[in-house]
Amino acid sequence: MDLSVPLIPKEQSLSGDWFRLEHGANAASVKCASGRTETLIYVVFGDDFIAGLRVDRKTWILVPARSVISVTFNALGAHWLPPVRQTSDEARAYLQGLGPVELRVWPVGQDEPLPAAPANIQGSWLVLSRSHDGTAERLVAVESVALIEVVDVAAAVRDLDGARVGN
């Protein structure tokens, strides 16, 4: 049985958890405001984002809630997939938890991403740098990001048991 839930700001939801997922949900179909649909596994649903491994391209992405129209959670037949996980983290805290990673960033309204670069979060900014000393090359306001893709999935993504995901 599939469960389709539109994403709404937490302050507009009922008190407590936003919802309970159907037991066994281990995938998400994310309909984005840009018109694209992403099918994700290893799904993490946060306070203002949804993230996971793209099924078709095997790349890890994070989609801010403002770029999402709706999410349909379902259970794929692969029982080795971890269930959808919910966290109270915001996207900025979640990205900081990934450590130093190389990101590809799509600003709102752009079809092409910015060049991939090592990135970190500083306040409300995503700092992108391609120099060895970490000098900022570009600042992108976190609020202006439509989608983030982690370039090196194997180095950045861990499953529930802490084992590496992706190759």
71-88 burial by CB neighbour count: b if 16+ within 10 A, else e? bbbbbeeeeebebbebee
* Higher pLDDT pick, 133 / 21: 133
- Report pLDDT digits (tens) over 110-143: 999 999 999 988 889 998 987 777 677 899 999 9
Neighbours of 61 (CB within 10 A): 21
Task: Look over the chain and give the mean of its residue pLDDT values, rounded to a whole number.
Answer: 79
| Phi, psi for residue 99 in degrees, rounded to 5 | 80, -165
* Residue 82 pLDDT: 86
Cβ contact 156:164 at 8 Å? no
- Report pLDDT digits (tens) over 142-166: 999 999 999 876 544 443 234 333 3
Among 151, 143, 26, 21, smallest CA distance to 98 is for: 151
Cβ contact 32:147 at 8 Å? yes
How far apart are alpha carbons 122 and 139 in whole angstroms? 9
Q: Where are the alpha helices (DSSP H) in 15-81?
A: none
Q: Where are the domains of the chain?
A: 3-156
